[in-house]
Amino acid sequence: MRTYEAVLRGVSSRAVVEAAGRFVSGLVASQSVTFAPSVAEFAQEARRLDEWYARQEAAAARTALPAVRYISDGRAPFDVAQQRLKREHEHRPVIQQHATFEQFQALSKSGQLPPGASWVAALATIYGPAPKAKQEAA
């Protein structure tokens, strides 16, 4: 055991346990199925696994994005989204508030909505088309 401890110093216990499991299961390509692995063979497999785990962890650390940090200003995220949508559509005339999609479809199919009208689900509002920009006389 001292020999194993000396040879495997610095190798993670995860890699040692995995190497033992791989040898017992016959999954190590170079192993003899009739003899137990030598200390050197076992240490070689454990080091190989330890290096593989280290590469995997390093790759995961490189590709991981930092956690999103939400800083609240006292408003719920849905309220913030609604206010943004109201600002985006403030230049458009409001045709109907508290409208369902089915109402929007019915008005659209019956021709009661002007071309370019749209329904904004988060606001439950039907907006008319955006006004044309005034052309300046040249």
Asked whether the beta carbons of 23 and 42 are under 8 A apart, the reply is yes
In sequence order, what are the beta bridge partners of 119? Answer: 126
List, in order, residues 6 or more apart from 89 with CB less than 8 Å away: 120, 123, 125, 127
Q: What is the pTM of this model?
A: 0.45
Q: Which residue has the tokens 């199925």?
A: 33
Rounded Cα distance between 65 and 86, Å, is 32
**Lowest mean pLDDT: which of 36-45, 49-58, 71-80, 92-101?**
71-80
Query: Model confidence over 8-61: pLDDT tens digits?
Result: 999 999 999 999 999 998 888 888 878 888 899 999 999 999 999 999 988 887
Q: Distance between CA atoms of 23 and 37, rounded to whole angstroms?
A: 8
